[in-house]
Amino acid sequence: MNILLPFRGLESAKSRWSGLGSKREDLALRMLQQTVDVVARVVGAEQTVLVSPDPALKPLFHQYRILQTAGRGLNQDLFEARSQLDSSPLAVILPDLPTLTSEDVASLVEASRSYDVVLCPDHHEVGTNAIALQQPESLDFLFEGASFERFNKACQEAARSVAVLRRPGLAHDCDDVEALKRFCLL
C-alpha cells in the first residue's frame, strides 16, 4: 500500500500559522519529517510518497518517493499523484498529526484489508485526517472543510464498505496555533 503525504510546500505551509513568522516553516518541516518517518517505519520508504509542488523537498527527503504536482490545491494534487501510481490500494495521511504513531498507521493499513474505505476523522469529526482506499479510483478526494460527512456520503452513494477508525494519533491535527500550543510544539 502506498501512503500519500500531501504537503503544500515550505513557503505556503500552514497559512493559519502565519502569526508565527519564521517559526512556521521550521514547525511545518519538523511535523512533516516526523510523519514521514512514522509512515516509513510501517510501510517502508518506497511506499511512503510525498506529494508536493515544492522542489525544495527533494534534497531533504531524497530517500522517499516524491511526486511533484502543479500545486492546484490538496484534492487536485492528490488526483494528479494518484494518476502517477498503479491502481493498488493507497492511503492518504495529512502530515500535521503531531502524535501519530506507528500503531496508528498499522491500524489504518490493517483495517483497509477488510473494508473498501477507511476514514479517520479529526477529533471534532468534521474533517478527515486520513483515508485508505482499496480501489483508489473508486472515490473522489474530498478533503478540506467538512470532509468527513462528504466522504461518508460518497461511500454510501458508491456502495462502498466503510470503517471509521478513531485513534488519537490520527484525530489530533494542528490546524491552528492553539493546537500547536496544546501539543507543546510552541
What is the number of domains present in the chain? 1
Split at pLDDT 50, 70, 90, the class of 80 is very high
Relative to beta strand 65-68, strand 90-93 is unpaired
| Dihedral class, residue 125 (left if φ above 0, else alpha if ψ from -120 to 50, else beta) | left
| Per-residue confidence (pLDDT) for residue 184, from 0 to 100 | 53
C-alpha cell at 64: 522517499
Mean pLDDT, rounded, for 50-67: 94
| Burial class, 162, CB count within 10 angstroms (exposed 0-12 / middle 13-18 / buried 19+) | middle
C-alpha span between 55 and 151 (Å, rounded):
30
Domain that holds residue 91: 2-182
CATH assignment of the domain containing 96: 3.90.550.10
pLDDT at residue 30 in the model = 87
What is the rounded average pLDDT of the residues 79-105?
A: 94
What are the grid coordinates assigned to 101, written together? Answer: 504513531
Which residues, 6+ apart, have CB-to-CB distance to 100 below 8 Å?
34, 35, 38, 93, 169, 170
Q: pLDDT digit string (tens) for 118-156? A: 999 999 999 999 999 999 998 999 999 999 999 999 999
DSSP the chain: -EEEEE---TTTTTGGGGGGTTHHHHHHHHHHHHHHHHHHHHH-STTEEEEES-TTHHHHTTTSEEEE---S-HHHHHHHHHHTS-SS-EEEE-S--TT--HHHHHHHHHHHTT-SEEEEE-TTSSSEEEEEESSGGGS----SSSHHHHHHHHHHHTT--EEE---HHHH----SHHHHHHTT--
Confidence of residue 186 (pLDDT cuts 50, 70, 90): very low
DSSP of 37-82, one letter per residue? Answer: HHHHHHH-STTEEEEES-TTHHHHTTTSEEEE---S-HHHHHHHHH
Q: Find the length of the chain.
A: 186
Bridge partners of 48, per DSSP, are 3
If you average pLDDT over residues 89-100, what whole number do you get?
A: 94
What is the per-residue pLDDT across 105-124, written as a single tens digit (0 to 9) for each? 999 999 999 999 999 999 99
Write down the pTM of the prediction. Answer: 0.91
